[in-house]
A and B are shown apart, each in its own frame.
Chain A
Amino acid sequence: MFEQSRRNFLATAGAVSALSLAGCAGTAGGSRVVVVGGGFGGATAAKYVKWFDPSVDVTLIEPKAAYTTCPFSNAFLGGVVKFETITHTYAGLAKHGVTVMQDMVTNVDPAKKMVMTAGGKSVPYDKLIMSPGIDFRFDTIEGYDAAAAEIVPHAWKAGPQTQMLRKQLEAMDDGGLVIIAPPPNPFRCPPGPYERACMIAHYLKANKPKSKVLILDAKDKFSKQGLFEEGWNLYYKGLIEWVPAAKDGTVKGVNAQTRTAITEFEEHKADVLNVIPAQRANLIAAKVGLTDKSGWCPVHLNTFESKLIPDVHVIGDAAIASGMPKSGNAANTQAKVCAKVVVDILAGKQPGIPKTTNTCYSLITPDHGISVTAVYELGEKSYGGVKGSGGLTPKDAGREFWKQESRNARGWYANISEDIWG
């Protein structure tokens, strides 16, 4: 109750200072901002347009009634957190004055500045912010298409796919082989597949200790590699094996029925197979005309406005935010910069200088956390970490440090969830 009234107060104070600072420029009051996608980027953008200027009219369009986060979905696979803990509704955003439409966007008319939905609605905008996330390149691994993903989960969009993978792990006999096939760059959450290996191994070690996790990688190196390998040595010796691309790791084909991963020279029959295919911006971005040849969305890095369609801003995994990883935390801080830019432009003001951050925790065990962090400024062609800042958990940091990082990982999750959907 109290926190709520204080928040309202803060919102009022924000409005007052925004108005008093506006000076000769106008205000954004009454302008219409439409946000597509209620994930890490979109839900943050919707909330923070209101935080920066409560007088702007904000509509969020998202097909799902509740959003399950990828962050901590690996911990769910490891039996460390419950599914409900990682699932959030949009009630919080409604409380902040955001109009939440449960609908699917089917197209955008940039000339009329109108968003069309599957429910038959046309929603007008002055500024459109898109954060639709990713889709998979189902044409890159032979035999692995959308139908195959119903038997062999990717679990790289959290939800039913994550639950399917967990059920398969639970059903597997002791002594089984779990294969994880991480994608080539660029992809959502660079340390994600290796954290997944840890969390699955954590579950197997306690419940099915004769089993094994084999990582068949399309790459020769990966994010936080030294820290993951340090953790594998400490806890999962003989349980986790990583095969890089150079040693025939790249999975080129899949037989979903027999759960077989096929590389150039070998066939690996798994008991549980998790294929994470190559990625691109969500197909809605291509349909609207926001993507280039790479399949991702080029944007002006200071405003996140599309280079291809004016007044449409793209943030999060779908955007080419050069220098920043495709992470939920990056999407969150990009959304804040973008929300401020949009509010400023609508009020007739020059957008300011961007600054973003990214903090990405991974769990090796429930009590051993590691992190990578960065504070980004915009350079000439890309975002870059401020000199001397950021970086990884030090090597050999020690049990106390790791324990604290595992606590902070949970604290981060609690607070970023609240910052986005609360």
Chain B
Amino acid sequence: MVRKSRLHLALGLAAGIAVMALAPPAQADGMPDVKILVSNCFNCHGTDGISAGVIDSLDELSAKRMAKALKEFKSGDKASTIMGRIAKGYSDAEIDAIAGYLAAVNGN
């Protein structure tokens, strides 16, 4: 149900209502392109963050929630089997860029 309502939003955007709002966050100096960073999430979480298996999908999260979760995995405040080990590989700026980009393209 939740997904369905987003379909309409997505189609609305695709029709050109607010395409500029989708522009990804600017790339900070010395940082990989944000599209490279997010594509690295997709091998475990599915293309565009849409998961086919037991691993969480990423396409439902707001930028704020995703960034918060990643930073908590990174600090160890949030327990995990593997995300802590991975999140430690990204700077806070990279985490903000990843979260912002994924949320923007998914209309969250």
Partners in one complex: yes
List chain A positions with a Cβ less than 8 A from chain B.
Answer: 2-3, 5-7, 9-10, 12-14, 16-17, 20-21, 48, 51-52, 329, 332-333, 336-337, 340, 352-357, 359, 371, 373-375, 385-386, 388-391, 393, 397, 401, 404-405, 407-408, 410-416, 418-419, 422
- A6 nearest CB neighbor, chain B only: B10
Contact of A359 (CB < 8 Å), options: B22, B35, B82: B82
Q: Are B85 and A373 in contact (CB under 8 A)?
A: yes
Q: Are B14 and A52 in contact (CB under 8 A)?
A: no
Q: Give Cα distance in the complex from A48 to B33, angstroms.
A: 14
Q: Indicate whether B17 reaches chain A with its CB closer than 8 angstroms.
A: no
Q: Are B105 and A13 in contact (CB under 8 A)?
A: yes
Nearest Cβ on chain A to B64's Cβ, whole angstroms:
21
Q: Are A414 and B90 in contact (CB under 8 A)?
A: no
What sequence of 0s and 1s flags, for each residue 13-39 of chain B, a beta carbon within 8 Å of any chain A beta carbon? 110000110111001001111011101
Given A2-B7, A329-B43, the answer on whether A390 and B86 have CB atoms closer than 8 Å is yes
Q: Which residues of B contact A375 (CB under 8 A)?
A: 40, 86, 88-90
Contact of B86 (CB < 8 Å), options: A2, A359, A397, A415: A359
Q: Indicate whether B62 reaches chain A with its CB closer than 8 angstroms.
A: no
Q: Which residues of A contact B27 (CB under 8 A)?
A: 352
Nearest Cβ on chain B to A309's Cβ, whole angstroms:
24
Q: Are A404 and B33 in contact (CB under 8 A)?
A: no
How would you classify the secondary structure of chain A's contact residues: helix, strand, loop or mixed? helix
Interface residues on B, range: 35 or more
Contact of B40 (CB < 8 Å), options: A14, A356, A388, A405: A356
What sequence of 0s and 1s flags, for each residue 62-86 of chain B, a beta carbon within 8 Å of any chain A beta carbon? 0000000000000000000110011
Q: Are A355 and B40 in contact (CB under 8 A)?
A: yes
Given A17-B24, A410-B54, A422-B47, the answer on whether A357 and B89 have CB atoms closer than 8 Å is yes
Number of A-B contacts (CB under 8 A): 149
Q: Are A13 and B14 in contact (CB under 8 A)?
A: yes
What are the 6 tightest A-B residue pairs by CB atom distance, in nearest-first order?
Answer: A375-B89, A414-B53, A389-B89, A411-B55, A411-B53, A389-B88
Given A389-B85, A415-B46, A418-B46, the answer on whether A9 and B11 have CB atoms closer than 8 Å is yes
Nearest Cβ on chain B to A389's Cβ, whole angstroms:
4
Contact of B81 (CB < 8 Å), options: A7, A337, A393: A393
Given A2-B3, A401-B81, A422-B47, the answer on whether A337 and B55 have CB atoms closer than 8 Å is no
Q: Indicate whether B60 reaches chain A with its CB closer than 8 angstroms.
A: no
Q: Which residues of B contact A355 (CB under 8 A)?
A: 32, 36-37, 40
Looking at A7, A352, A385, A413, the one whose CB has the most chain B CB atoms below 10 A away is A352
Q: Are B85 and A391 in contact (CB under 8 A)?
A: yes
Q: Give Cα distance in the complex from A418 to B43, angstroms.
A: 9
Given A17-B23, A333-B43, A375-B89, the answer on whether A404 and B105 have CB atoms closer than 8 Å is no
Q: Give Cα distance in the complex from A411 to B44, angstroms.
A: 7
Q: Which residues of B contact A21 (CB under 8 A)?
A: 23
Q: Indicate whether B93 reaches chain A with its CB closer than 8 angstroms.
A: no
Nearest Cβ on chain B to A420's Cβ, whole angstroms:
9
Q: Which residues of B contact A418 (CB under 8 A)?
A: 46-47, 52
Q: Give Cα distance in the complex from A405 to B4, angstroms.
A: 32
Which parts of B92-108 form the interface with A (CB within 8 Å)?
Answer: 105
